[in-house]
Amino acid sequence: MADVGQDVIRIAHNRLVREMPPQIHECLGILDDGQIWWRANDTSNSIGNLVVHLCGSLRHFVGRGIGGSDYVRDRDAEFAERGPLPKAALTTLLEGTVAETDRVLTSLTPERLHDTTRNIETALPVVDCLMRMSHHWAYHVGQIVFTTKLLRQGSVNDLFRRTMVK
């Protein structure tokens, strides 16, 4: 079990620290603030909202739930933000979130995977939390990349392959 557990932690770490954040960074790097906060309509989310939301969810579930931080999430505010928060502020938020996730996952042991998350409203086994965050991030990073391609035709080609950890 320890080998499988270590694999689960390694894969989650790769996805949440080494693969998906660089995809977001690349998208943010080629868009201006107006594009980052563009919405297709009033009920859709901007890339900026998705970045704020992804950071909020990761800090809540991994930082607080697994790592025990004192982060307090305001999920509604993640989607209500209309920006434009400057690109630099989003980048700083993303980098801080990724650094916290790196610290938590680096210290996580396979023995803790069946422990229950702490200090969050929905108690989950740690392994469930890791899978939820990995899938959640993949879903929204895909939206960020797709929107970037809509706004900047020909951009971010082969992004997934270029950021995959081998």
Q: Tens digits of per-residue pLDDT, 69-90?
A: 999 999 999 999 887 789 999 9
Mean pLDDT, range 55-64, rounded to an integer? 98
Contacts of 131 (CB under 8 A, 6+ apart): 12
7-11, 132-136, 158-162: the lowest-pLDDT one:
158-162
Q: Is the peptide bond before 125 cis (omega within 30 degrees of 0)?
A: no
- Give the global pTM: 0.94
pLDDT single digits (tens) 135-149:
999 999 999 999 999
Give the pLDDT band of residue 28 (cuts 50, 70, 90): very high
- Residues with Cβ within 8 Å of 101's Cβ and at least 6 positions away in sequence, in order, are 16, 17, 58, 62, 63
- Domain 2-163, classified CATH 1.20.120.450, yes or no: yes
Q: What is the pLDDT of residue 96?
A: 98
State the helix-helix crossing angle for 47-58 and 126-151, rounded to 10 degrees. 170
Q: What are the backbone dihedrals phi and psi of residue 155, each rounded to the nearest 5 degrees, phi first?
A: -90, 165
